[in-house]
Amino acid sequence: MHQQIDIPALLDGDRNALSRAITFIESNRPGDRESKWALLEQLLPHTGKSKRVAISGAPGVGKSSFIDRLGAYLIASGHRVGVLAIDPSSSNSGGSILGDRTRMTSLSAHSNAFIRPSPATDTLGGIAARSKEVMLLMEAAGYDIILIETVGVGQSEVAARYMVDYFMLLLLPGAGDDLQGIKRGIMEMADLLIVHKSDGDQLPLAQRTAQHFKAAMHLFPPKPSGVPVEVARVSSLQNKGIEEVWQRVMKYVDTTEKNGYFQRWRRSQEMHWLEEGSMQILLDYFKNSPELQSRLNALKSQILSGDTNPVAALHTIDHFIKKLLHD
């Protein structure tokens, strides 16, 4: 497999080489893993130089149109932008009704943008580990800004949190008037709250919402970065506020590089990757272990025929795994 990937072309920014490498990395076969580690080790020195930003928010808040505008702005400023989605439900669902490409109309047409949907895998730890690797491949191919779109308001944000330097949370005007429905944990992850769709009839409400969140920020503990959470208003429809958002990112990077947090957090990202990646390796072996899978299938048949129950079956699996690990 590995032989088919043209590493010099990938490092030179070739889209096809990058696509093939991503497909290879996303494949889940333990037999490919030696080649996978070899590929990643070769590419690792060429990674880490991008700015990594998460864009989060509930469905309907307009993440795609925002990313489309932000990406277009960054490309116009001379950057190459990689967009990666983390979507735990995509493995089961085939993704959104409208695909990423139709949702991001300006970006998807641009040669300096590379849009990749969420890797299809059946565990969230798998998505986290795989997404991290895909991000590194994009960096090796010269994408110097990585935008991670999270879908939903739960575990995918936790996964994204450990992949990025900066975390944006999009909100709707009015939607957060009493902070209800917005998870404290997600709020605490955010470096920037963006009141989106701040335009037209909604403008006054958006202004009040932004004021409200600014006032509410004292409810939250100080950020370990030393940079307080900020609140911005954006209209992607009118293309307003995009540049200001990016200036905040740049200011944040500058401040945290100087106070050392940026580098410390990058190390934390690596530690997290090591743990998630290790669990993923373990689960891959589990899924590909003929002994374990045949044992599992036999137990399933026994449950269906009424010869055992799920608790007794799990008890058996527990002993089997214990024996496997300690013998």
Cβ proximity to its own copies: between 258 and 264 the closer is: 264
Three-state secondary-structure class, residue 59 = coil
In whole angstroms, how close is the CB of 243 to its own copies at the nearest point? 26
Q: What is d(CA 181, CA 287) in angstroms, rounded to the nearest whole number?
A: 37
In whole angstroms, how close is the CB of 171 to its own copies at the nearest point? 10
Cβ proximity to its own copies: between 217 and 314 the closer is: 314
Q: What is d(CA 250, CA 191) in angstroms, rounded to the nearest whole number?
A: 12
In whole angstroms, how close is the CB of 112 to its own copies at the nearest point? 26
Phi and psi at residue 23, to the nearest 5°: -60, -40
Type of residue at 66: F
Cβ proximity to its own copies: between 255 and 320 the closer is: 320
Type of residue at 303: I
Q: What is d(CA 154, CA 159) in angstroms, rounded to the nearest whole number?
A: 9
Q: Which of 11, 224, 26, 31 lies closest to 138, judged by CA?
A: 11
Cβ proximity to its own copies: between 3 and 180 the closer is: 180
In whole angstroms, how close is the CB of 78 to its own copies at the nearest point? 30
Cβ proximity to its own copies: between 7 and 321 the closer is: 321
- Beta bridge pairs of residue 233: 195
In whole angstroms, how close is the CB of 26 to its own copies at the nearest point? 16
In whole angstroms, how close is the CB of 25 to its own copies at the nearest point? 11
63, 160 contact by CB (below 8 A): no
Type of residue at 6: D
Cβ proximity to its own copies: between 251 and 300 the closer is: 300
Q: What is d(CA 130, CA 119) in angstroms, rounded to the nearest whole number?
A: 7
In whole angstroms, how close is the CB of 202 to its own copies at the nearest point? 13
What are the structure tokens assigned to 205, written together?
């409400």
Cβ proximity to its own copies: between 88 and 241 the closer is: 88
Type of residue at 116: R
Residue 240 DSSP code: B
Cβ proximity to its own copies: between 53 and 171 the closer is: 171
DSSP string, 81-129: EEEEEE-TTHHHH-S-SS-HHHHSHHHHT-TTEEEEPPP--SSHHHHHH
In whole angstroms, how close is the CB of 117 to its own copies at the nearest point? 13
